[in-house]
Amino acid sequence: MAGRHSHAVGVDFGTSTSLVAERKGRLPATLVPLGVGTQWFPSIAGYDDEDLLVGEDADELPSDQVIRSVKRAITRHDDAVVVAGASGPQRVAADDVIIAILAEIGRRAEAAGRPITDGHDLRLGCPAMWDGQQRSRLLSLATKAGLPVDSSTLIDEPIAAGVAWVTHRFMRYGERPKGRLLVFDMGGGTLDIAVLDIVGGEQPEISVLSALGVDQAGDALDRAVANQLTRMYAKCGVNVWDRAPEEYVDAVLLRAAKTAKERLTQVAEQQILLPRRPMGEVPVLTYHKEQLEEAFRPQMDRALAMIWAAVRAARLTERGGRSPEQLRATSPAELAQDIDYILLAGGMSRIPYVERRIGRAFPRAQVFDNAGVAADEAIVAGLADTGSYERLNLHRPGFDFVVEWEERGERRQEVLYEAYTPLYTAQQVLNGMFDLGYARHGREFPGPSQGTGVLRVRSTSGEYLSLAYVDGRGTDDRRTMDGITLKFGSSRMAFKLYCDGRVHIRDATGWDLQMRVERWPVIRGRDHAQLVLRSVEGESTVAPTAWYLSKDWAPPHSR
């Protein structure tokens, strides 16, 4: 399906490297050469005296003066990063560094003859785990860097990879994939896992059933390998931490670990050489692929636990419902039957150990390590897709629920639910909690202590949506309204969004309204003018059971 334009550009601002791709019409996406001799641009920066350098220029600085993985500052809500200075470590504004990197990406794309302008669809990727505040921060920084972004620009990275895969299977092979696709996106800073329901073809429809993420990926493996190297030097009788300032040694070890990790995707062993200045004579180590897998094993164990949590969470979207006990009782072998396809995305997925572990866990699924491009290019290829995004449904609302009321002749407003706020955390699913959703009740419910107000829905561009309410007896009996009237003034007030699209509202009078959205649609301003809500009164639930307690693989029962 064509988008607003037949020309799209995707920007993948990555933790370690950044990519830009463009696509015209139905032609395959092509990468824009950004680096010096490479398609990618290093997402690093550093200070040379007072000058902020980015990319390859920063990579020439001493290791302890280089700022790496600055994107994680957004993930962690950090305002500053630490870099070595003449008088010791200094705190540097993370936003300034991110703006500099994004601006350089724009300059290099223009120098390559592919300017990032308003003449096409521009999409920028972000981790699926990011909430509305993190997304707004990236958009603000991209605007300051000169990129023409708006509220419709951001796309979840694993979703973009899934779009690239669906488009590639249709365009290259004429396939129309149908079923559930598990996207395993492990980059430098985050691990994102998404379960997508796919109806492929020329006009594919993609529904996101679940998405979980953690702030642990390639950087965490670098740290584990660096710790291994420290122990290997110690066995040789060398304490590397005595050879130079701690910040310098740490940076050098992490750089050596990252290089070894990348090389061992192609070779069986890698020599580790540390700089003689100021480290002095240090033995040359030989680091093997088996050692890398040993360092990686605990992290992959946690990643597989996240995968099972994501597949379980996908079942929360199913109508008819499963009790929390039944969901806890579902074994990995049964969960594996839910997945038809697996796509490995992100630079870390190039490590063969990843495919072996995931392939073993899902013996019936088809595993793909490319979407017409390499695993670490799948996200940017999907961001540059000229279609597919009009028929995209999310697992959580990408719009605000707001409460409005009149007070002393003035209109007041508070946000009840902010767009993209997660309905649950990864830990809640890992712990076996399945009555999940976003809730505000009692004193947490915004608004005055008495009076009447209205609940409305607002797109991220600031425009309000009309609500179409269907009472469940058929599409002919439909009411269209601007909002839902509420009576304020009681601890009985409640609002909850459930994972299966149910919306529960109760006001101060005890009046209850229960509705459902089939899938949370992508709403981009006036392109989608209406949100359709259907009555769910009378829907049955599944009776709870307790036999899962005897299973040693069942998540713990949370009460």
**CATH number of the domain residue 161 falls in:** 3.30.420.40
Judge if 332 and 348 occupy the same domain. Answer: yes
Kindly state whether residues 405 and 523 are assigned to the same domain: yes
- Site of tokens 């601007």: 482
The type of residue at 527 is D
Residue 166: left (phi > 0), alpha (psi -120 to 50), or beta? alpha
pLDDT, mean of residues 368-386: 90
Task: Point out the domain boundary residue: 341, 376, 392.
Answer: 392
Let me know if residue 507 belongs to a domain. Answer: yes
Q: Do 179 and 77 fall within a single domain?
A: yes
**Contact partners, residue 369, CB within 8 Å, separation at least 6:** 344, 349, 350, 355, 375
| pLDDT tens per residue across span 324-370 | 677 777 889 999 999 999 999 998 998 999 999 999 999 999 999 98
Which of 111-125, 178-192, 485-499 is predicted with the least confidence, judged by mean pLDDT?
A: 111-125
Which one of 370, 392, 414 terminates a domain? 392
Same domain for 23 and 126: yes
Instruction: State the amino acid at position 497 in one-letter form.
Output: L
pLDDT tens-digit map of 168-177: 998 888 889 9
pLDDT at 542: 36
Alpha-carbon distance values, 501 to 140, 165, 469 (Å): 30, 26, 14
In a domain, residue 520? The reply is yes
Residue 227 has pLDDT above 60, yes or no: yes
Q: In which domain, by residue range, is 414 found? A: 396-535
DSSP annotation of 29 reads P
Same domain, 474 and 388: no
Which distant-in-sequence residues (6+ apart) come within 8 Å of 128 by Cβ? 156, 157, 158, 159, 185, 192, 194, 211, 212, 213
The pTM assigned to this predicted structure is 0.87
Are residues 131 and 23 part of one domain? yes
| One domain for residues 315 and 421 | no
Give me the mean pLDDT over the 212-236 stretch. Answer: 93
* pLDDT of amino acid 137: 96
Cα separation, 287 vs 260, whole angstroms:
8
d(CA 218, CA 57): 23
Whether residue 179 sits in one domain with residue 31: yes
pLDDT of residue 449: 87
Query: Residue 550 pLDDT > 80, yes or no?
Result: no
Same domain, 384 and 422: no
Count of domains for the chain = 2
**Both 363 and 470 in a single domain?**
no
Instruction: Enumerate the H helices of 364-485 as residue ranges.
Output: 378-383, 426-430
Does any domain span residue 44? Answer: yes
Q: Does residue 541 belong to any structural domain of this protein?
A: no
Lowest mean pLDDT among 76-80, 326-330, 456-460: 326-330
Quickly state the pLDDT bin for 475 (edges 50, 70, 90): low
Query: Which pLDDT belongs to residue 559?
Result: 29
Same domain, 79 and 201: yes
The reply to whether 480 falls in a domain is yes
Q: Does the pLDDT at position 178 exceed 90?
A: yes
Residue 543 lies in a domain: no
For residue 322, pLDDT beyond 80? no
Tokens of 324: 């929390």
Q: Indicate the residue among 333, 360, 392 that finishes a domain.
A: 392
Task: Supply the pLDDT for residue 1.
Answer: 34
pLDDT of residue 278: 83
Which of 188, 161, 191, 371 has its CA nearest to residue 262? 188
CA distance 45 to 92: 11
Q: Are residues 80 and 144 in the same domain?
A: yes
